[in-house]
């Protein structure tokens, strides 16, 4: 307990806003944080709770590391798998994202088809028979 008091006195002199060369905002933040820490460490009950909390966090990190070691990397690959579009998927109606060149070619084909249909209609209805 004496070590805590001595460390608190030394650090409070170092970070007190009136005695430090640090900017006022930084010094007051550090000093307030120092006071909170001293309050926790000087009271036996809050110190035990703080120690218990640290032990729980350490055990949780250790369990997480152990869990990561036990996880199957192939299972992670299967869970993160995404399908890659190919021509078969496009023909089946999936993944219809077309490139710029394919879109331009498709647009040209549609114009040719519409022109052909209009020509046939014109020939059938508006053209005089020979």
Residue 106 confidence (pLDDT) above 80: yes
If one counts every other C-beta atom within 10 angstroms of the C-beta of residue 99, the result is 8
For the chain, domain boundaries:
2-72, 87-125
Q: pLDDT-based confidence at 118, cuts 50/70/90?
A: very high
Residue 90 confidence (pLDDT) above 80: no
The pLDDT tens digits for 12-24 are 888 788 888 888 8
**What class is the 2-72 domain?**
mainly alpha
Burial of residue 17 (CB within 10 Å: 0-12, 13-18, 19+) is: middle
The answer to whether 36 and 30 have CB atoms below 8 angstroms apart is no
Q: Please enumerate in sequence order all residues whose Cβ is within 8 A of that of 34, keeping only pairs 6 or more positions apart, or say none.
A: 8, 11, 12, 15
20-29, 69-78, 98-107: which has the minimum mean pLDDT?
A: 69-78
């Amino acid at each position: 307990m004496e070590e805590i008091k001595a460390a608190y006195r030394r650090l409070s002199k170092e970070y007190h806003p009136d005695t430090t060369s640090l900017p006022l905002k930084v010094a007051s933040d550090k000093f307030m944080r120092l006071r909170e820490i001293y309050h926790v460490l000087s009271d036996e009950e809050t110190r035990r709770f703080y120690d218990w909390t640290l032990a729980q966090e350490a055990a949780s990190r250790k369990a997480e590391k152990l869990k990561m070691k036990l996880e199957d990397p192939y299972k992670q690959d299967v869970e993160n798998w995404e399908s890659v579009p190919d021509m078969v998927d496009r023909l089946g109606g999936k993944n219809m994202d077309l490139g710029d060149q394919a879109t331009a070619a498709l647009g040209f084909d549609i114009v040719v088809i519409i022109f052909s249909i209009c020509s046939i209609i014109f020939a059938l209805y508006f053209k005089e028979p020979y």
